[in-house]
Chain A
């Protein structure tokens, strides 16, 4: 019984981490749009390449934030959450006995 419970915990943590990274789609599309527009701008006005590139990199970094939140959650789910949840399970089992 205990093995099954621990197995469910581990599997669900891994599934949750994978599902959290669905958030990677958003920044991908957003950054793609930003870079496409920057390319168009440079094509139209090649002389302001430097400032356009700087602004684009800044925008990309800000757009990346939501994806990075998801990444942090996924990393927590993989490396920290299983141990925590198993400990909680063990404690409740001990207190029930």
Chain B
């Protein structure tokens, strides 16, 4: 094993700092700009500041800032994992990076087929962004995925991709696909076409939001129970939140960690399935063959 040089280590530390500092920045912004709230409350994303635009004011909300934080942190994490790659002496982090790349490529190949093998970076990006956004609750920040606007933006992106791949055989073929079993069912097909992004957005947002709402309700309920039991005791003992220690953390394991990662996986899986099933592969191959024979 070759000894690492000093400059290599300095760059390493800088990249790790680039991964951690965005989160620190987010917490600092949260503390500075947030008025201290009393007790536990359920609230949507707060507006940090407003940019004045000619047509309409542009509010910069908590969810926007937090998703930028996640993007910056993921960028530096990827740089850190791929720093100092070598074919002869692979390090631990290189094994981790290779494992991630291999897993996503296998997933994409297994679910989408050979034609879409270039989709692996996109799928991995969606999965990482979604998972890290949901996991932001662990450090006390507002998760961007519990804002419908953020998730609806991703779903819209996926919808555009689906429509693009459905249009690969030309707009006429695309319009024909609506009257697929019988032309009489075309209105229902149009509705189901638009229900795809709506259901994707609502699924992700509803799962994350319901988790945080239930956690807050349980915390408030435990507060009430503690007050009922210990309220008569004098001084510090009466205020001691003995039921609120530990019990909300058990819920958090399910709602924040398991559900957040599962929803990221499901969003990516549905993206892959919708895109690959929407693409008329056989017709496209025939079209390519016809084109080739015409050219010859």
Contact = CB atoms under 8 A, between A and B. Distances in A.
Given A57-B262, A58-B266, A79-B42, A65 B203 contact: yes
A64 interface: yes
Contacts of A79: 42, 44
**Interface of B: prevailing SS:** helix
B202 A65 contact: yes
Contacts, number: 34
Interface in B264-290: 265-266, 269-270, 273
A68 B209 CA distance: 10
Given A61-B203, A65-B199, A75 B269 contact: no
Contact of B203 (A54, A64, A75): A64
A69 interface: yes
Q: Is the interface of A mostly helix, strand, loop or mixed?
A: helix
B215 interface: no
User: Which of A54, A61, A69, A75 is the most central at the interface, judged by chain B CB atoms within 10 Å of its CB?
Assistant: A61
Contact size range, B: 10 to 19
B203 A71 contact: no
Interface size class of A (residues with CB under 8 A): 10 to 19
Contacts of A75: 209, 213
A88 interface: no
Contact of B210 (A54, A58, A65, A71): A71
B206 interface: yes
A61 to B, nearest CB: 4
Contact of B202 (A54, A58, A69): A69
